[in-house]
Structure 1
Amino acid sequence: MSYECFDVSIDAGVAHIRLSRPEKRNAMSPSFWADLPEIVRDIDDNAKARVIVISADTTGERPIFSAGIDVSMFGTSDVSGNDKNHPQHGANFYQNVLRLQESFNALENCRIPVIAAIHGGCIGGGVDLIAACDMRFGTQEAFITIYEINVGMTADVGTFPRILNHMPEGVVRELAYTGRRMAADECERRGLFNTVYATDAEMMDAVMEMARDIASKPPLAIYGCKRIITYSRDHSTADALDQIAVWNMSMLIPGEMMEAMGAKAQKRPGKFMDLPKLKQS
C-alpha cells in the first residue's frame, strides 16, 4: 500500500517507517494522522515485525526530520473545527486534538519497541512524535524545538507528559517558554537522545543493528519489558512490582526461556514464537 507521507518496508523482523515528504519538510498533513496509527496497528496486530524504526527522508539543502503539523491544516476542520464564534467550536477542537493525540498514542501502546532516528530539525509535532517512541537516536545535525510557543500555541499532542520523563522540569519549561533549539549534543546530555552520531548513515547503521538485535530476542519478553517499563513510569513502585508479578504469572513461557538459554549456550540464533495476531473486532 502507498501513503502520502510514508514509505514502509519490513525486513528481518524490522519494520522501517520513513517520513517521505522532504519537499514539504516532512510536515504532517491530514493523511499523516490517519495513516500513522493505521500502519503501526497493522504491523502490531498482524505480528508483521518485532521492532519499528521511524526515520525521515531528509534530502534537500537542510535536513529536516519533521517540520511538525502542516500549516495548511490550520485552515481546515482537522485542527480548527468550526468558526471560532460558533458555540460548537471548542468541543470540535477538543475532539480533533484527541484524534491527533491518538495517532502518537499508537506508538506507545503497540506491543513492540519503536525507535526514532532523527536527522536534522525535529520541530513542533516532530517532538510529540519522537517523545512517544521507546528510544531516540540523532545525528550531530539534529535538533529539537518545542516551536508552538512561537506561533502562540501550547503544545498539545503529547510533548509535555512524555518529555518530562526524559529531561528535568526546569529544562522542559525553558524549551516550552522560549521555543529555543536544543542541539543534538545537549539532547544526549539531557537524556532525550540515547546516542548521537556524526552522520545519518552511521546513525541508521547503528539503529538498524540495534533493531535487528532486539528482533532476535523473545518477542513476548520484549512485549513484557515495554509494557512494564511504561506501567512503572506511570505508577508507584508497589503497583509496578505487583504488575510484573502478575504479568510473569500469566505470560512466562518456560519453553521460550529454555530456548533462549540453549541458543546462548550454543551460540546460535534463538527460535522464538512471534506475538499472537490480534483479532479484529
Structure 2
Amino acid sequence: MTTTNTECFEVTIENRIAHIKLNRPEKRNAMIRSFWSELPSIINKIDTEAEARVIVISSTGPHFTSGLDVSSFGGSEISPGGTGDDETAKRKAKLTAGQAFYNNVLGMQDSFSALENCRIPVLAAIQGGCIGGGVDLTTACDMRYCTEDAFFTIYETKIGMTADVGTFPRIVKIIPEGIVRELAYTGRRIHAAEAKEVGLVNRVFADQSAMLDGVMEIAREIAANAPLAVSGCKRLINYSRDHTTADALDYIAIWNASMLQTSEIMEAMTANAEKREGDFAELPPKRSLGAA
C-alpha cells in the first residue's frame, strides 16, 4: 500500500484500487485554488503510469464538498467585470478580465474532464452535501453512490451564477432534462432517495461506513476483470453517449479489430472455470511524445 498527501487530498493505492479522499473536513472540503491543479495531477499520474485499475473518490467530515471556495480566487478569476479611470481603460480592463475569467473556467473544466478522460473507471462515494462544484465533480465520474443523508444542489443559481465547470453538459445525459431544469432553475436540494429514483446515483447506503464498504466491493469486482476490457468499455460507453448509434457501432467494430485480445478472453474463461483470479495484462503506461 502506498499513501501520499497533498493540501486537499489523501491518496492510497492498494490492491489495484486508488482511493482519493478530499481531506479538508474542517473547511467542508471547499475547492480552494490548489484543488484544481492537484486533482488532475493525481488522476493523470494514476492513469499515465497505470498505477491502479479503479479509482474511488470519497470525502471526510459531514459533507462531501461545499463547492468552490470563492474567497481563494481573485476578482478577475471569478467575475468578468473590469475597472479603470476612463472609458478606454474600463473597456480594456473589462476585455482583459473577461479573457482571464474565460481561461480560468477552461482550466477548472479540464480538472474535472480528467476524470472522464482517464482510462480507468472512477467511482464517487458521497456523504452529506454535494454542493455546487461537487455536482460538477461527481457527474464527471463513471458512477455515483451516496449515503441516506446525502443531497445534491446546483447551488450556483442561488448565488447569482450559472454553473459553468461541467454540470450541465453531463447531468443532462444522466437524468431527465425536466429534472435538470427544475434543479437548475430553483437551486433546490435533491436528496438521496430522489437522486436514486431519477438515476443520479446507483445505490444509497445507510451511512458512510456502509457506503465505503459497498463501493470498495464494487471496485474490487471491477479490478478483478481484464483492465484492457474495462478500459475499452469506458471508452466505448463515452463515445456511444456522444455519437449516433451508427457511428458508435462502427467505432466499436474498429476498436475490437485493433484491441481485442484472444489471450485475455481465454484467460478470463479459464480463470472463471477454475474459480481463481485472472492473470491479465495491465494497462500499458502512457508515453509522452518523443519518449524513447
TM range (shorter): over 0.9
1:44-75 Cα deviation digits (max 9, x unpaired): 000000000000012xxxx1100000121343
**Partner Cα separation in structure 1 for residue 66 and residue 163 of structure 2:** 14
Partner of 1:119: 127
Deviation at 1:14, TM superposition (A): 0.3
Pair 192,7 (structure 1): closer, same or farther in 2 beyond 3 Å: same
Distance in 2 (CA, whole Å) between partners of 1:76 and 1:225 is 42
User: 1:143 matched to which residue of 2?
Assistant: 151
Is 1:33 the counterpart of 2:44? The answer is no
Shift of 1:276: 0.3
1:236-255 to 2 correspondences below 5 Å: 236-255=244-263
TM-score of the pair, normalised by structure 1: 0.96
Secondary structure of the residue aligned to 2:157 is: helix
Q: Which amino acid aligns with 1:24?
A: K
Aligned to 2:176: 168
Pairs within 5 Å for 1:1-281: 1-58=4-61, 63-80=62-79, 83=82, 85=90, 86=93, 87-281=95-289
List gaps (5 residues or longer) in structure 2.
84-89
Aligned residues: 277
The one-letter code of the counterpart of 2:25 is P
Report the counterpart of residue 86 of structure 2 in structure 1.
none
Instruction: Report the alpha carbon displacement of residue 261 of structure 1 after superposing the two structures with TM.
Output: 0.3
Which contiguous aligned blocks of 4+ residues in structure 1 show a shift greater than 4 angstroms? none
Deviation at 1:78, TM superposition (A): 4.3
Alpha-carbon contact 2:76-2:98 (below 8 Å) kept: no
Higher gyration radius (CA):
2
- Secondary structure of the 1:66 match is coil
CA distance in structure 2 between the partners assigned to 1:276 and 1:79 by the alignment: 39
Corresponding residue SS for 1:54: strand
1:171 Cα deviation from its structure 2 partner:
0.7
- State the AA in 2 paired with 1:206: G
TM-fit CA distance, 1:280: 2.8
- What is the alpha-carbon root mean square deviation over aligned residues? 1.2
Counterpart of 2:5 in 1: which secondary structure? coil
46-55 vs 71-80, which moves further: 71-80
What is the deviation of 1:92?
1.3
Q: TM-score normalised to the size of structure 2?
A: 0.92
